[in-house]
A and B are shown apart, each in its own frame.
Chain A
Amino acid sequence: MAKTDALQGALDLLVLKILSRRPGLHGYAIMTAIQGMSDEVLRVEEGSLYPALHRMEEARWIQAEWITKENGKRARIYELTRAGKQQLGLEETRWAAVTGAVNRVLREA
């Protein structure tokens, strides 16, 4: 659980990024994508992904729909909206600025 802290601020960025590459994922798939691509470094408390998704949905960065999978189960899948793409750009820039600043401090300290 301790590992999640590093993720908190960046969760929105990661979700947006993943959805921009692979639209139409459901919550579980988004979570496994984050874990897989970060080689299990970034882990979330799985349930807390959902409030974050719903918050972004409310902010209209992503939109959701219910689909029925091949096995007959229903799933709620997400994709980026136009506003979401803009937001992704903003978040990436901010992230770059923050990490760049942190790196500079690390180098020069």
Chain B
Amino acid sequence: MALWRRIANVFRGERVNRELDEEMEAHIEEAMAQGRDAGEVRRAFGSALRHREESRDFRVLGWLDALRADAIFGWRQLLKTKVTTLAAVLSLALAIGACTAAFRLIDALLLRPLPVANPERLYDLAKTGIGPDGKAASYDSWAYPCFALMRDAVKGQAELMAVSNAEETDVTYKSDAEMEKAYLQYVSGSLFPALGIAPAAGRVLTESDDVTPGEHPYAVISYDYWTHRFGQDRDVVGKTFRMGNELYQVVGVAKEGFTGTEPGTMVDIFVPTMMHPAVTRRDETWHRTLVLVEAGAAREPLRQQMEATSKAFEEERAKGFIGVPKERIKEYLKYRLALEPAATGVSELQSETRRPLMVLGVLVALVLLIACANVANLLTAQGAARAREMAVRVSMGGGKLRLMQLVLVQSAWLALLAALLGGLFAWWAGPFVVNMINPPDNPARLLLPADWRVLGFGVALALGVTLLFGLVPAVRASSVNPVSALKGGEDPHAKRRLMHALVAAQVAFCFLVLFLAGLFVATFERLTHEPTGFSTDRLLVVDTVAKNGQPNEFWNQVAERLGRVNGVERVAVADAALLAGFSWNNFVSGTNAGANGVLSYMRAVSPGWLDAMKIELIDGRDFRPEDTHPGVALVNETFAKTYFDGVDPVGKTFDFAYAESGRMRVEIVGYVRDVRYRDLREPMLPQFYVPFRSFAPNGEEWKRNRAVLLVRTASADPLVMASILRQEVPQARPEFRVSRIQTQLEINQSHTVRERLLATLAAFFAGVAVVLSGIGLYGVLYYSVLQRQKEIGIRIAVGAPGEKIAGLVTRDVFAMVLGGAVAGLALGISSARFLESLFYQVKASDWSMIALPAGALLAAALLASIVPVLRAMRIDPVEMLRAE
């Protein structure tokens, strides 16, 4: 009989038995038909049952049959205690689901290798040293001319590829009125051949598409973009689109799965680096440098070669620095190059969320442990109730392993049910969390494949969990001593000790989760309430683009037109919004402080900007329409502190380097309050503002092709104005288009995305942890009351007062809670040290930070003990002793 038949027979056991019985019965009938005596025949036949069992072993797969029997038995055991089973399954499901969801995210963002040839030989070239602001820093942003020198220097040993940040860009396929957004990335032409990325249609870019600045208007689109934008239409090859002033031709589609080298951003369009406006600039760093080391080439000589080349470049360039102290330049040139492994790609999202995701991973793992402890306690209590059953099984010759299997199968049922539910939960939770890390208008897009890696993780987790909570109860159940168990029980404290230890561990983990959650929530609170110096109230940021670059006069016309729209209170123009990620800085000289090497940060703004942003003017005046840059400036408090010893600087002058051509002197006409410029966490920066109306060194007016209009509206929800503003802008001047409308509030909130994610999820898991621990405590207390009811009955009979009984029941458990809490606190304080970079103005040693989790735990413990204590106090001694 084939193996599959034996397997199948496991599940039709009754039928197999019937057939065997029938054949043997036929034998006996045949014998009697031959005239033999019935008694004699049966004697000669022997034990039909034994023969049947022997035959059955040939017919069915023995171990599988035993497993089947155990599975059915375990299932019935679970159904006997539906409520506890449901509680166990739900809590486990939540924990397993959270773990799987966390793994899905961590895997997709941090662990999964890029779908390219040889990802293990791919590195990101980073500079570590002292930054221009005098602080230790590491960055991987490069200027193209420097990149080109390094690329040529290591030719043959490594392939260097320039890859810009993927940015959301406006492109048009038909008329300008139909502008749409796409993620665009400038890449070296050699990227596709070097990484083995084949075309799915047309061709990919090559080195020859990347030779002369501005001469290669070709684009390759990603498979994903091809699918959702063009429905995989093959005619897309040859299509043209306009971006800025340039017309590009789509030459092909990259193979499926390749979405760029930045996990978190799915690139739609790849264009050659030669088309980047800054490709010839030595002072603008705008791309990463990826290094594909040739097989067998040593990395260290390669690194040294590139370091020497880049330093020669920087030394040459530093000769043109103005207003920077010599020592600072020397210090700056001391940087080191490092090759950082980039098998999984490199992106901001990766470095931003690596630690938060790891912390989340640890939190969910702790919640899983808490849930496991609960289930282990449940099974131990059940095991105690089944001690007699186990003893009978042992006396009848049930083997140790067989008994362990019996209990483990039951845990496997729990784990299986929980894993199924948890899988569903993870399915939903993964994308949900991704949405949370995202600002609504600029979503990080991440492929979240649910493939064998995730499935494997889920299965391994379910197995691990089964062993974790099932093994101890299984070993205990199987090592039962039948003699003492059948006589009425062995050491009654042994089981309680195990349960108490589990409770202590549970409380320790729970405290840790609560403690960390408290720190994250406090961090988020403090950052959210950090004053920015300006008002986000009803303020819209209208990101606007202008074809071919337009002069100040036209920008003003657009602003004036918006100002006349019903419901608009104030409009101002600026080169970029505050906190929106656009930094523009310069060294200031010609002041009391001399060339101190401190960077000042700039913003170009129109008259009325202070008013629109509600930034307080301390002294002097706002810009007037006739003011131009370079000429006059507004400065903030930190600027005055840095360069003028904190004295009101209105009327004074300072110098700064202007467009590589020399110094410009400007007069300070206004003195304003500090505002947040690029980040909420850092100290206030020295800032100065220059008029939006700017002139280049050759005297020509600077025509901007992009700026923001800041619109303060009258309506509480400013976004209702968005569609009107979108229409008004091109009507004011046909060259202008709205690229994007956001509220300033959204921009501010995007700085606390990571903190909000951590705070929300940590608070959620803290809630789960408290509930699970409360259930665990309740279970253990209830069990110990049940187990000690004789003793309690006797105590009540001899006159013990209620509070003594309550103390008796809860004493041990509360000692465990206290011990667990202390252990959790120690764990928390020592682990918080590694997480300091994630906190803002909160200290792990703060009393309020410790009081919160302690209070929550105490409340949970009290709540959990009410019912068991009441039950203990209501034990009727007469009834109890009569029952004996």
Contacts and interface: CB of A to CB of B under 8 A. Distances in A.
The answer to whether A and B belong to the same complex is yes
Contacts of B45: 45-47
Given A45-B44, A47-B46, A58-B1, A26 B58 contact: no
Contact of B29 (A50, A55, A60, A73): A73
A73 B25 CA distance: 11
Contacts of A29: 30
A76 interface: yes
A51 B55 contact: yes
Contact of B58 (A27, A58, A76): A58
B14 interface: no
Given A45-B44, A45-B46, A74 B26 contact: yes
A76 B20 CA distance: 10
A14 to B, nearest CB: 17
Contacts of B706: none
Contact of B26 (A26, A31, A55, A58): A26
A74 to B, nearest CB: 7
Contacts of A55: 58
A41 to B, nearest CB: 16
Interface string B34-64: 1000000100111110110011001100000
A47 B26 CA distance: 12
Interface in B9-39: 19-20, 22-24, 26-27, 29-31, 34
Interface centre among A45, A54, A73, A75 (most CB of B within 10 A): A54
Interface residues of B, number: 24
Contacts of B23: 27, 50, 76
A49 to B, nearest CB: 8
Contacts of B24: 47, 50
B27 A48 contact: no
Nearest to B1: A58
A57 B57 CA distance: 12
A54 B59 contact: yes
A54 B44 CA distance: 19
Nearest to B31: A28
B37 to A, nearest CB: 14
Given A54-B59, A58-B59, A47 B47 contact: yes
Contacts of B19: 76
A99 B45 CA distance: 29
Contacts of A51: 51, 54-55, 58
Given A27-B23, A27-B27, A76-B26, A47 B51 contact: yes
Nearest to A56: B58
A56 B58 CA distance: 9
B25 to A, nearest CB: 10
A11 B290 CA distance: 77
Nearest to B29: A73
A19 to B, nearest CB: 16
Contacts of A31: 27
Contact of B27 (A45, A46, A58, A74): A46
A54 B20 CA distance: 10
Contacts of B31: 28, 46
B129 to A, nearest CB: 76
A74 B19 CA distance: 11
Nearest to A76: B23
Contacts of A54: 20, 55, 58-59
Given A55-B58, A57-B58, A50 B51 contact: yes
Contacts of B58: 51, 54-55, 57-58
Residue from the set A27, A31, A51, A76 with the largest chain B CB neighbour count within 10 Å: A51
Contacts of B46: 45-48
Nearest to B51: A47
Contacts of A57: 1, 58
Contacts of A45: 44-46
A28 B20 CA distance: 14
27 contacts: A26-B27, A28-B26, A28-B27, A28-B31, A45-B45, A46-B44, A46-B45, A46-B46, A47-B27, A47-B45, A47-B46, A48-B54, A50-B27, A50-B51, A51-B51, A51-B54, A51-B55, A54-B55, A55-B58, A57-B1, A58-B1, A58-B58, A58-B59, A60-B1, A73-B29, A75-B26, A75-B30
Given A45-B44, A54-B59, A58-B58, 13 more contacts: A27-B23, A27-B26, A28-B27, A45-B46, A46-B46, A47-B45, A47-B47, A54-B58, A57-B58, A73-B26, A73-B29, A74-B26, A76-B22
Top 5 closest pairs, chain A to chain B, by CB: A51-B54, A28-B30, A47-B46, A54-B55, A47-B45
